[in-house]
Amino acid sequence: MKLRIVIADDNLAFLQQFASLLQNEFDIVAALTDGGLALEAIRSLRPDVAVLDLKMPALDGIQLTKRLKRESHRPAVVICSVENDQEFVEAAQHAGALGYVFKAFIMRDLLDAVRLAAQGRSFVSLR
């Protein structure tokens, strides 16, 4: 059975790229452009993994990850961002994200990050 994934990014080009990379191996149950809508989808669809943009309207990836820690169903979270400063990586990890993928390395790293997060293991893109 395929892992169920919710993806959220306010940039449609990245959202489509995430979907194209993940769709063969995972079941994408929702693709959204807003953190608030992603929270609603995660609550109702109960995915195994959430792939979230760092900066989105309504709730950003870190705020959403913190909210998910308080939910009865907590999917593994992978944050994707153009930000590659260590402070953003640490903030995402502190919020509860298991993965942090630099968007410059999406093609190389996203599948591994999602696979590892689903196993409860950490992943951070290397520069």
Asked if 40 and 47 touch (Cβ cutoff 8 Å), the reply is: no
CATH number of the domain that residue 47 is part of = 3.40.50.2300
Q: What is the pTM of this model?
A: 0.95
Residue with tokens 């990890």: 93
Length of the chain: 127
Q: For 13-36, write each residue's pLDDT tens digit.
A: 999 999 999 999 999 999 999 999
**Amino acid, single-letter form, for residue 49:** V
Domains held by the chain: number: 1
Tell me the mean pLDDT in the region 82-104: 95
Structure-token pair, residue 60? 């950003």
Show the domain range for 112. 4-124
Residue with tokens 């944050």: 79
Q: For 27-78, write each residue's pLDDT tens digit.
A: 999 999 999 999 999 999 999 999 999 999 899 999 999 999 998 889 999 9
Query: Residue 53: helix, strand or coil by DSSP?
Result: strand
